């Protein structure tokens, strides 16, 4: 049994962080956390998967005692010959299910004695008051501001929040797909641009879904994003206007929508400046510092024909590249200019401070959460796709190429499309 220490209104359990409503009593008279409340949160997360291969419920250890697991929604679905989503709808929205189907589901519920906590609550109030947020990596520095904004909006709307780390792992995604189909949440925010299941978007009819940062082409789901291609084009134009012609681009992970859009903007700017697009200067990355270090090793192998500027599709890659280059004796920006994308906090404090595209992360998180709250309340949204403007922060990591370094170069003021930034 994992032991938990409550340092904030969060109870960690495996890869999910459960934000607990502290308006409800969580402690006994001695100030200790009620074990039953922690167990309740765990039960809700695991009810859909904790069964043995032979279909029987299995026993598990709880507070030192062995006890038999109750039936799961999957058991009910198997017995009734329907999907778990149909079981959930039969309980929470019976008017939306055919009468004969609902009767089979109710018979299966009676036969399996299925009474999970989430279902009991749905029967009473028709809502779990919980939202699931799925991210590709909880530890990535880009998400912290967005997560904070999302949590504030949802908490103010009286929703609890589950944060799940998929790590872009199909097994993990399948687990969270089952969580949603089990009727354990009222809405879903997807941060990773991937659907947990092949027909996951179809669940939007019953469980509203909204996207943050990454659109999913063909899904029809509402998304709050930025104009990635425009931002990448503008940053690359800045480098070409300084005189750079050999500009390498470190991409994001293959298959990511943002990767393709930022690469497209890079290519657009080179073509507009009359600079040939050299495939040898497009280097694969992964939105991580380690990917930036690997790109630096590749850069060092070019010898005298090295690129004079690097445009990385994320700040972490740019910072990893710059640090590895400096350790190899390469000066940034005198020998090579480095620009990033994202505007994470550390980009302004690394040495040298990083020139980058600054995303409006707080606004992205707030608008995405507000969109989901409206949809869960049945309020129509005005636009499916909202694109927010970005800022360009011109700092010390970019200058003219070495051949032109003798001429006076004025560092531009940090600007955005339509407003100044500090």
The answer to whether residue 28 sits within a structural domain is yes
**Residue 265 pLDDT:** 98
Whole-number Å distance between alpha carbons of 397 and 328: 17
One domain for residues 218 and 265? no
Residue that is last in its domain, among 174, 196, 223? 223
Structural domain includes residue 82 = yes
Residue pair 239/247 in contact (Cβ under 8 Å)? The answer is yes
Task: Determine, yes or no, domain membership for 148.
Answer: yes
Is it the case that residue 281 has pLDDT exceeding 90? yes
Half-sphere exposure in the Cβ direction for 37 (13 Å, CA):
19
Same domain, 232 and 214: no
Ranking 15-24, 71-80, 293-302 by mean pLDDT, the lowest is: 15-24
Quick one: 207 and 264 in the same domain?
no
Same domain, 236 and 283: yes
Distance CA 233, CA 230 (A): 5
CATH number at residue 33: 3.40.50.2300
pLDDT tens digit sequence for 156-187: 999 999 999 998 889 999 999 999 988 899 99
In the predicted structure, residue 65 carries a pLDDT above the cut 80: no
Reading the block at residue 200, the tokens are 């996951």
Instruction: Check whether residue 164 and residue 301 sit in a common domain.
Output: no
| Total of domains in the chain | 2
The verdict on residue 1 lying in a domain is: no
* Residue 68 and residue 209 share a domain: yes
Based on the fold, state whether residues 69 and 188 are members of the same structural domain. Answer: yes
Last residue of a domain, one of 162, 195, 223: 223
Q: Tell me the percentage of the chain whose pLDDT exceeds 70.
A: 76
**Cα torsion for 211, 214, 216, 217, to the nearest 10°?**
130
Domain housing 123: 10-223
Residues 216 and 270 in one domain: no
Torsion of Cα atoms, 47 then 49 then 54 then 58, to 10°: -40
| Single residue among 223, 242, 260 that ends a domain in this structure | 223
Whether residue 402 is contained in a domain is answered as: yes
Reported as a single tens digit per residue, the pLDDT across 301-342 is 998 889 999 999 999 999 999 999 999 999 999 999 999 999
Q: How large is the average pLDDT for residues 261-285?
A: 98
The reply to whether 123 and 97 lie within a common domain is yes
């Amino acid at each position: 049994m994992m032991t938990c220490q409550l340092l904030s209104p969060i109870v960690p359990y495996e890869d999910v962080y459960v934000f607990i409503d502290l308006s409800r009593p969580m402690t006994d008279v001695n100030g200790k956390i009620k074990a039953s409340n922690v167990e309740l949160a765990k039960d809700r997360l695991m009810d859909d998967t904790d069964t043995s291969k032979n279909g029987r419920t299995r026993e598990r250890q709880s507070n030192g005692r062995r006890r038999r697991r109750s039936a799961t929604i999957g058991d009910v679905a198997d017995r009734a010959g329907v999907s778990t989503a149909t079981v959930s709808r039969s309980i929470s929205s019976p008017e939306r299910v055919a009468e004969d189907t609902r009767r089979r589901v109710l018979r299966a519920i009676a036969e399996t004695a299925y009474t999970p906590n989430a279902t009991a609550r749905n029967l009473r109030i028709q809502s779990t008051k919980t939202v699931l947020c799925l991210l590709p990596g909880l530890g990535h520095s880009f998400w912290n501001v967005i997560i904070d904004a999302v949590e504030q909006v949802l908490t103010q709307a009286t929703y609890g929040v589950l944060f799940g780390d998929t790590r872009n792992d199909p097994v993990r995604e399948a687990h969270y797909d089952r969580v949603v189909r089990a009727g354990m949440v009222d809405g879903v925010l997807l941060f990773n641009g991937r659907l947990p299941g092949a027909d996951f978007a179809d669940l939007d009819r019953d469980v509203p879904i909204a996207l943050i940062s990454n659109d999913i082409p063909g899904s029809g789901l509402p998304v709050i994003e930025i104009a990635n291609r425009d931002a990448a084009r503008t940053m690359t134009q800045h480098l070409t206007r300084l005189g750079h012609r050999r500009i390498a681009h470190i991409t994001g992970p293959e298959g990511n929508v943002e990767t393709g859009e930022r690469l497209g903007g890079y290519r657009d700017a080179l073509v507009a400046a009359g600079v040939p697009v050299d495939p040898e200067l497009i280097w694969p990355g992964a939105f991580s510092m380690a990917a930036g270090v690997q790109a630096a090793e590749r850069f060092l192998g070019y010898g005298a024909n090295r690129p004079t500027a690097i445009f990385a599709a994320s700040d972490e890659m740019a910072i990893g590249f710059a640090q590895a280059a400096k350790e190899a004796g390469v000066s940034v920006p005198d020998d090579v200019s480095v620009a990033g994308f994202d505007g994470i906090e550390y980009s302004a404090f690394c040495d040298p401070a990083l020139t980058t595209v600054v995303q409006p992360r707080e606004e992205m998180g707030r608008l995405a959460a507000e969109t989901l709250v409206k949809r869960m309340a049945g309020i129509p949204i005005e636009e499916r796709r909202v694109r927010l403007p970005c800022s360009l922060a011109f700092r010390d990591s970019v200058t003219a190429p070495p051949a032109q370094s003798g001429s006076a170069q004025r560092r531009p003021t940090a600007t955005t499309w339509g407003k100044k930034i500090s």
